[in-house]
Amino acid sequence: MAEKEGNGEDGAVAEIEKKIIEAFEVFDHECNKTVDVREIGSIVRSLGCFPTEAELHELLAKVEEEEEPTGYIHLEKFLPVMTKVLLDRSYRPIPEDVLLHAFEALDENKCGYLTKDELVKYMTEEGEPFTEEEMEEMLSSALDPETNTVLYRDYISMMIVDEPEDLPQ
C-alpha cells in the first residue's frame, strides 16, 4: 500500500509522528504506550532537540497527567506536543562554533584549555548544574589524564556527531 510521498504537509506530519512513536517505543518497557517521566528528556533530545532543563520542564508540564502526576507519560498526550515541537523547530541544535565560543568564554586566560577544577566548578555550580554522575561521565572522556586539563577544541571535534538533518524541510 503506497503512501503519499514526502511532499505536502500531511506526508511530513505523518512521517514526524512515526518518528516520535518509534523513539517513544524504545523506552516503553511494558509495551503499554507509557514511559517513565524521567526518560522524556532522552526521548526529546534523541529526536534532534537541544532543550535546556527549564525548557524540558515546561514541556513536561504539558504532557503530564492533569490531576495527579503518576510518574508516567502517555503517548497520546506526548505525540501532539512533540509533533508541534518538531514542526516549530523549537530547541534548535547548537552549531559547533557557538559551542566553541562558550568554552572560550569560560577559558579566562585564553590558553586553549580548562583545568579539571575549572570545568568541574563551572559545570556543577553554574548554569543548570550537573549531577555528580554527569560530571564524572564528562570528565572520563574530556579529561586528558596526563595534563589533567580539558583541551576543549579537540574534545568538541571528537564529540560532534555527524548527523544528517533528516527532519522534513
Partner 1 sequence: MGSGSSVNANYKYSLQKSENAFKAAVLIQRWYRRYVARLEMRRRCTWRIFQSIEYACEQDQIKLHNFFSYLMDHFTPSSSKERDFISRMFISGESFKEAELEKYCDYESMEVPDSYTGPHLSFPLLPDHATALLEAFKQKQQLHARYVLNLLHETRKHLKQLPNISHVSTCYSEEVTVCGDLHGQLDDLFLIFYKNGLPSPSKSYVFNGDFVDRGKQSLEILIILFTFLLIYPKEVHLNRGNHEDHMVNLRYGFAKEVMQKYKVHGKKILKMIQNVFCWLPLATLIDQKVLIIHGGVSDTTDLDMLEKIQRNKFISVLRGKKRKESNRNVEIQEVNGESNAEADPTGNEATPSLPSQPRPAQAPSMANRLEFSRWVRQTVQEQIEWCRRLVDISESEDEELTYSSMVSLADLDGPCWTRQEEWKQILDILWSDPMPQEGCRENTVRGGGCYFGPDVTGKILEKYNLQFLIRSHECKQEGYEFCHNRKVLTIFSASNYYEIGSNRGAYVKLGPDLVPHFVQYQANKTAHTLTMTQRISRVEESAFRALREKLFAHTSALISAFKAYDKDNTGRITLSNWATAVESVLHLGLPWRMLRPQLVRTTADGMLEYKSWLDDLAMEQRSQEHIQSSLLEVIYRNRSNLETIFRIIDRDHSGLISFEEFHQTWKLFSSHMNIELTDDGINDLVRSIDFNKDGNIDFNEFLEAFRLVKQTQ
Lookup: cell for 83: 509533533
> Which lies closer to partner 1 via its Cβ, residue 65 or residue 137?
137
Alpha-carbon distance of 38 to 150, in angstroms, equals 30
What residues contact 135, with CB distance under 8 A and at least 6 apart? 120, 123, 124
Alpha-carbon distance of 97 to 100, in angstroms, equals 5
- Nearest approach in angstroms of CB 4 to partner 1 is 9
Q: Is 99 in a helix, a strand, or coil?
A: helix
Ranges within 136-165 binding partner 1 (CB under 8 A): 137-138, 140-141, 159, 161, 163-164
Lookup: cell for 85: 515541537
- List the one residue out of 58, 25, 18, 61 whose CA is nearest residue 43: 25
Q: Does residue 26 bind partner 1 (CB under 8 A)?
A: yes
Give me the count of residues in the chain.
169
Q: Does residue 45 bind partner 1 (CB under 8 A)?
A: yes
Provide the mask over 89-108, with x wherever binding to partner 1 is found by CB under 8 A and - wherever it is not.
Answer: ----xx---xx-xxx-xx--
Q: Does residue 35 bind partner 1 (CB under 8 A)?
A: no
Binding site for partner 1 (CB under 8 A): 2-3, 5-6, 11, 14-15, 18-19, 22-23, 25-27, 29-32, 41-46, 49-53, 93-94, 98-99, 101-103, 105-106, 122-123, 126-130, 134, 137-138, 140-141, 159, 161, 163-164, 166, 168
